[in-house]
Structure 1
Amino acid sequence: MNWKSFILGAAVGIIGGYAAHEVITQKIKVSPEKVLEQVKKQFKQNGPISGSWIHMEAEPYEKYQIHYKVYKGGISKNNNGSSEQYEFIADAQTGTLIDICRLSNEIVS
């Protein structure tokens, strides 16, 4: 066995393992597209969605003295002839919904 190859292989394995550990333990943000997809999936359970949007940059948010990085977005739905609009706030690291607020209820002709 060639000792140089063995040492090189062991070094690459150690460095690769360390790099993988750093990537896994880092707080990686969920993409805003994935968050919007999850929110739309939840809203679709109660009827069709007519529109949606999400702000693509995470921003600071505080609720109950807990600090988050969040994505803000919105959903529009048609429900029995009326348009309902909701705004949501989702944790940028997990995609979990933190808050939902109903904005309006307009009659659609």
Structure 2
Amino acid sequence: MLNWKSLLFGAGVGFIGGYLVKDTVTSRTYISAEKVLNHVKKGFKREGTIDGSWIHMKAEDYQKHAIKTKIYRGGISRSQNGQLQQFEFIADAYTGSVLDVYLL
């Protein structure tokens, strides 16, 4: 006969194990490059129109000092005061957070 304590203990261990596996898998999943590009474009559109944009679809390794992560690299071009401006950006592939934007 099955002991209720054993059943509850097994169910609890299974629940906790499932949660930890889900958390680990979810934290290592990349955000799509398209979502990252749309996020960056939305920020630039607050300051004016965009002439063009691009993003590498494959995440690449990135390290700054002791911090290692995967990033997407992309770019935005726009005209401001009759001058073409081109920006490059890097964004964290796991969170979509923009890590750096610089004028080329």
Shared fold, TM over 0.5: yes
Distance 1:37 1:22 in 2: 30
Distance 1:51 1:33 in 2: 14
Structure 2 runs not aligned, ≥5 long = 1-10
1:1-109 equivalences under 5 Å are 18=18, 22-26=21-25, 27-103=28-104
Distance 1:21 1:52 in 2: 38
Deviation of residue 78 (structure 1)?
1.0
- The structure with the largest strand share of the pair is 1
Structure 1 runs not aligned, ≥5 long = 1-10, 104-109
Q: TM-score, normalised by structure 2?
A: 0.77
The runs of at least 4 consecutive aligned structure 1 residues that moved more than 2 Å come to 20-25
Give the corresponding residue for 2:6. none
Distance 1:28 1:21 in 2: 15
Read off the aligned partner of 1:23 and give its amino acid letter.
K
* Per-residue CA distance 1:54-87 (angstroms, 9 max, x = gap): 0000001112321110000000011111110000
Q: TM-score, normalised by structure 1?
A: 0.73
Deviation of residue 21 (structure 1)?
5.4
SS at structure 2 position matched to 1:28: coil
Q: How many residues are paired up?
A: 91
Deviation of residue 101 (structure 1)?
1.2
